[in-house]
């Protein structure tokens, strides 16, 4: 009796094609669900990578204002996209401050010193730009003093006035 039930489970009662067992059906269903989940995950990953690539390409072309749209990415991958945006933000602000300061120096208008806190390479950049600003200010004061002396104006002694030896009195 048992053998007959087992044989009928493998084939139809009339001897037709074998019927899949419940275990096989669940295995097939699990494989199908896994394949669908893998395709969905691959699509979600592709969208996240596309957003990150868009930011990378923008940075490569000098556009530091572009950010990835975290809303276009599944919630599980948003922290990655947001971290990329935060990384670009960390570079963009010091870069903009440096560019602004150098543009003002090059136009003959020394800017205020950069006072934002910075670490590592950003600190070295800030300090180098601040040293340049201080140097340009000193040279601007030197020029003002030289022009005043050359025009016969009485130059008031200042902090920088004694830095240069007055060659006219040495002769």
**Spans of all domains in the chain:** 22-155
Question: In which band, very low, low, confident or very high, does the pLDDT at 17 lie, cut at 50, 70 and 90?
Answer: low
Model pLDDT, residue 20: 62
- 33-68 pLDDT tens trace: 888 877 777 778 899 999 999 999 999 999 999 999
* Mean pLDDT confidence for 142-159: 76
Model pLDDT, residue 88: 96
DSSP string, 12-39: -TTS-SPPPPHHHHHHHHHHHHHHHHHH
Q: Quick check: 72 pLDDT over 70?
A: yes
Q: What is the pTM of this model?
A: 0.61
Model pLDDT, residue 168: 43
* Mean pLDDT confidence for 116-143: 93
Residues 82, 55: Cα–Cα separation, whole Å: 11
Task: For helices 22-60 and 78-106, give the axis angle rounded to 10 degrees.
Answer: 0
Model pLDDT, residue 151: 87
Task: For helices 120-150 and 78-106, give the axis angle rounded to 10 degrees.
Answer: 10
Q: Which CATH number fits domain 22-155: 1.10.10.10, 3.40.50.720, 1.20.120.1530, 3.30.499.10?
A: 1.20.120.1530
* Mean pLDDT confidence for 6-22: 62
- 75-101 pLDDT tens trace: 999 999 999 999 999 999 999 999 999
Residues 58, 68: Cα–Cα separation, whole Å: 10
* Residue 138 φ/ψ, nearest 5 degrees: -60, -45
**% pLDDT > 90, the chain:** 56
- Comparison of pLDDT for 95 and 161, the residue scoring more: 95
**Joined tokens for residue 26:** 């669940």
């Amino acid at each position: 009796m048992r053998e007959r039930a087992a044989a009928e489970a493998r084939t139809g009662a009339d001897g037709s094609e074998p019927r899949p067992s419940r275990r096989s059906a669940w295995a097939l269903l699990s494989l199908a669900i896994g394949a669908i989940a893998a395709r969905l995950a691959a699509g979600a990953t592709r969208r996240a990578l596309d957003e990150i690539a868009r930011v990378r390409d923008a940075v490569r072309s000098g556009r530091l204002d572009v950010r990835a749209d975290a809303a276009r990415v599944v919630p599980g991958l948003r922290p990655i996209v947001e971290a990329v945006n935060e990384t670009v933000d960390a570079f963009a602000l010091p870069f903009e401050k440096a560019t602004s300061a150098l543009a003002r120096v090059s136009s003959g208008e020394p800017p205020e010193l950069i006072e934002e806190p910075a670490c590592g390479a950003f600190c070295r950049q800030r300090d180098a730009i601040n040293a340049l600003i201080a140097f340009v200010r000193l040279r601007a004061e030197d020029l003002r003093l030289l022009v005043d002396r050359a025009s016969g104006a009485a130059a008031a002694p200042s902090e920088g006035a004694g830095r240069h030896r007055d060659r006219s009195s040495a002769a």
